[in-house]
Amino acid sequence: MKNYMKLWAVGSFAAIALWSGCDLINPDEETPAYLYVTGFELTTNPAIEGSNSHKITDVWLSVDGNFLGVYSLPALIPVLEGGQHVLTLDAGMKDNGINATPEIYPFYESYEITVDLKANETDTIRPTTQYRSNTKFAFIEPFETADHQFRDVRRPAGATGIQISAEDVFEGQSSALITLDTAKQFLELATLNEYRDLLKTGAYVYLEVNYKSEVPVIFGVIGHLDGGGIGGTSTLFDPGFLPKDEWNKIYFNLTEMIFDGDFDSYQIVFQAFIPSENDKPTLNNAKVWLDNIKLVHF
């Protein structure tokens, strides 16, 4: 009888230990609160900031100053916090249009809101943003008149540059239209003006572009040193876009190119071209549409 009691006690203890062990191995999980974040709304002053078109693809979320993560919009986000908390939402885009390079767009204001988080409940957040007050616009080009920035036709000599067209307009009354064919397989255009002090008071320079295109287009800068001379001018091409049959927006990061160039002033330049295969153009003719080009810096 004593042995039976010992065995019962040992078995009961083992069962209790096993039960307790399960609790230790699989503790009760916290029930999160949820945030549903819609897309951002951008508000601009058209007279000094131009169009409110944007391509904010992500939200960078912090809770009480602690970074939580980056989420594609719209986003349903679990948060393991309860009660009143301050949320900071930053507008994110793809640097140079590349999915692998998500970044906070530095010229858009953060959106802050205090939310009372409750487990298993969803709060809907509709963030808004605007350009930061210290954003500088070197130029804004909506292509509404023939007196636009991109009238420096660099190559080929004597080529027709941009046409101001009401065909397939993005917004407003007109957009820029570039037409290529086998006789004019590429076109290089630059701004008439040169821009100075782009990195004098800040760390970022971006070019915003709305576009639709049947061919690739690459962008860059032409750097100029005061006084000219040997090495006084240099052209650098880097970011660009591929054909897109619907209007799109891209944010080109020119910061490193301008910083490394260390010139006194810069023109913005781009090339549109029909690609070749086996020394033959892949298209007999092609069109490129551009709109709302902005050069922004701090």
Q: Which residue has the higher pLDDT, 84 or 18?
A: 84
pLDDT band at residue 228 using 50, 70 and 90 as cut-offs = confident
User: Do 122 and 141 fall within a single domain?
Assistant: no
Is 3 within the bounds of a domain?
A: no
Report the domain count for the chain. Answer: 2
pLDDT at 227: 84
User: Do 252 and 207 fall within a single domain?
Assistant: yes
7 SS3 class: helix
Q: Domain holding 75: CATH number?
A: 2.60.40
User: Do 107 and 240 fall within a single domain?
Assistant: no
41: containing domain: 33-130
User: Do 142 and 187 fall within a single domain?
Assistant: yes
Two structure tokens written together for 235: 């052209």
Is 244 within 8 Å of 291 (Cβ atoms)? no
Domain termination site, one of 79, 107, 130: 130
pTM exceeds 0.85 for this model: yes
Is 14 within the bounds of a domain?
A: no
Domain termination site, one of 90, 108, 130: 130
User: Do 256 and 209 fall within a single domain?
Assistant: yes
User: Do 122 and 254 fall within a single domain?
Assistant: no
Angstrom distance (rounded) from CA 172 to CA 248: 16
User: Do 151 and 284 fall within a single domain?
Assistant: yes
User: Do 147 and 95 fall within a single domain?
Assistant: no
* 223-227 average pLDDT score: 93
The residues with which 240 forms a beta bridge, in sequence order, are 218
Compute the C-alpha angle 33/36/39, nearest 5°: 155
User: Do 222 and 96 fall within a single domain?
Assistant: no
pLDDT band at residue 29 using 50, 70 and 90 as cut-offs = low
